[in-house]
Structure 1
Amino acid sequence: MTTDPTVRAEFIAGLRALARFLADNPKVPVPSYGQDVTVNARGNEDEQRAAVDRVADLIGAPASGGTHYCTARDFGPITYRAVAINEQAMSEYEAVLSYHGAVTTA
């Protein structure tokens, strides 16, 4: 998650380029049910939750949740979402990932 002007400008330019490309190429498929643009908060749990709360204020949407504390605003089928994931949930996810590739089918 950043507000760096250069990163923001590049991200916004990319979104506009994608929108122009899709508008100019009607045969290129798009997701049937929309899409999320998700920014993940960084830092410890308190810092992450505070970051999500700041975004919630900026976008005018409430923040809520447990293991995944988030705020979101819909723009038609596109959702802008800011998320903080607590340490326990992240540790459990990383534990599951640690088994990736360990079990294969014959």
Structure 2
Amino acid sequence: MTLEHGADLRSTNRYGGTALIPASERGLLSIVEILLEAGVDPNHVNNLGWTALHEAIVLGDGSEKYVRVVRALIGGGADVTIPDGDGVLPRDLASQRGYDAIVAEIDR
């Protein structure tokens, strides 16, 4: 509804992240898809040095719902070569956590 009424797709929260970042962190696939379709930048970096992809990996649990979110983010233009604030790539973050299905999505 907010998108229909002209929501600012670049507005940020207290962490400097767009709505896509917490939606990804929480594994909310339908919201992620809506925001990507609306044009929210999947490569926006928040104040913590994370994109939506980083948050889906680091704050997710590697389950199928997060695999789907990662797939949607990548399909929506998420750059898998953007490191986090510590210089760690999304693939390495997933690998360190044993999220093999997410690593496979990144490697596609």
TM tier relative to shorter chain: under 0.3
Structure 2-normalised TM-score?
0.27
Structure 1-normalised TM-score?
0.28
Structure having the larger proportion of residues in strand: 1
Q: Over alpha carbons, which structure has the higher Rg?
A: 1
